[in-house]
Amino acid sequence: MDFSFTKQEELFLQMIRDFAENEVKPLAAEIDDLERFPEETVAKMGKIGIMGIPVPKEYGGQGGTNQMYTMAVEELSRVCATTGVVVSAHTSLCIAPIMENGTEEQKQKYLPKLASGEWIGAFGLTEPNAGTDAAMQQTTAVEEEDAYVLNGSKIFITNAGYAHVYIVFAMTDKSLGNKGISAFIVEKGTPGFSIGKKEKKLGIRGSATCELIFENCRIPKENLLGKVGKGFGIAMKTLDGGRIGIASQALGIAQGAMDETVKYTKERKQFGKAIAQFQNTQFQLAEMETNVNAARFLVRSAAYRKDNGLPYSKDAAMAKLFAAQTAMEVTTKAVQLHGGYGYTREYPVERMMRDAKITEIYEGTSEVQRMVIAAALLK
């Protein structure tokens, strides 16, 4: 398989690295520390097109590739995993399902504003009792005249509060199990829709993670996304794509920790020489680098398949499983190689280690990825 970049992708990499280094990295420690959503960065990203990379130009997007999108999430996450997930949740979990399942009217209405970053997107599937077992939806949507009336709540919703558009799943017919789930486009400010508690988290602390509450919330019928009863399939397909985004985030975190560790081990002296000169350090670095590159190939491969219209569900699951595992291992080793300094907030590796953990959990835990991979193998 050919993973070489196109000329456009090479130029894109130059731009996104420059942007990440100069606009995102300087804020990373602060937004983590203050648990502050980086609104100013989102505005800057919107202006140059980072909020709508794979959206076709006719819908106000940039006409870029999924490969470019994964490169963006990787490079942003390399310096700030919060910024990476803002883009990933917005693009993979809100824009993509509208692009893939929306009517022409829905696409015309939502995509231009989402792609320009004027509106931020979010996705509400998880509930207190429906995590990995996503089919156990308790939020209901009852048809009433020209609307569906939503009742229930969603938890752990990325970009909540700041997002204008939410893809929300609810039971339209409980008796049908997962075939009774439908998807809706819910706009901020709809009466009966409110944002609940904001979570205090271990990592990606700048990203807003909140509860969504629906109390007799009337959603106009034209905001049904896809067909009635097809919501579960839409959710699963959306998460297949989302996994490429989160795999890219994990890869970026791991690469960021590598960058910091290579630099630090060359500077830090103990026993009269740089610790990079000890074979233990060298072997650790070699192991870390090999895993990071293996993760990168899995991510590139999944994005390549998506760009070329090939099945990618298993590839995305493998990329996410391995990249998340790598992010956790590499950041843990990075802290170890930094010693006591690595445990302090003077150095970014402790933040990277905290940020890495979520990649093994959200958009399908590592266990779910193994289920997806095995199911594809054994079908």
Partner 1 sequence: MKIVVCIKQVPDTTEVKLDPKTGTLIRDGIPSIINPDDKGGLEYALQLKEEYGAEVTVITMGPPQAEAVLREAFAMGADRAILLTSRKFAGADTLATSNALAGALRVLDFDLILAGRQAIDGDTAQVGPQIAEHLGIPQVSYLEDLKFDGNKTFRIKKQLEDGYQIVEVESPCLLTCLASAVKPRYMSVKGIVEAWDKEVEIWTEEKIDVNEEKLGLKGSPTKVKKAGAKEMKAAGQVHDGLSPEEAADLIIAKLKEKYII
- Provide the annotated active-site residues: 363
Kindly tell me which of 53 and 168 has the beta carbon lying closer to partner 1. Answer: 53
> Considering the complex, what minimum distance in angstroms separates the CB of residue 117 from partner 1?
11
Kindly tell me which of 65 and 101 has the beta carbon lying closer to partner 1. Answer: 65
> Considering the complex, what minimum distance in angstroms separates the CB of residue 119 from partner 1?
17
> Considering the complex, what minimum distance in angstroms separates the CB of residue 129 from partner 1?
40
Kindly tell me which of 53 and 234 has the beta carbon lying closer to partner 1. Answer: 53
Measured between alpha carbons, how far is 52 from 45 in angstroms, rounded to an integer? 9
The residues of the shown chain that bind partner 1, judged by CB under 8 A, are: 7-8, 11-12, 14-15, 18-19, 47-50, 52-53, 57, 62-64, 68
Give strand pairing partners of 136. none
Contacts 24+ apart (CB under 8 A), 138-146: 138/171, 139/168, 139/169, 139/170, 139/171, 139/214, 140/170, 140/171, 140/172, 140/174, 141/170, 141/171, 141/172, 141/182, 141/184, 141/219, 142/172, 143/172, 144/218, 146/220, 146/221
> Considering the complex, what minimum distance in angstroms separates the CB of residue 252 from partner 1?
18
Kindly tell me which of 52 and 124 has the beta carbon lying closer to partner 1. Answer: 52
Label residues 72-98 b or e (16+ Cβ within 10 Å = b). bbbbbbbbbbbbbbbbbbbbbbbbbbb
The residue among 349, 277, 296, 295 whose CA lies nearest residue 285 is 277
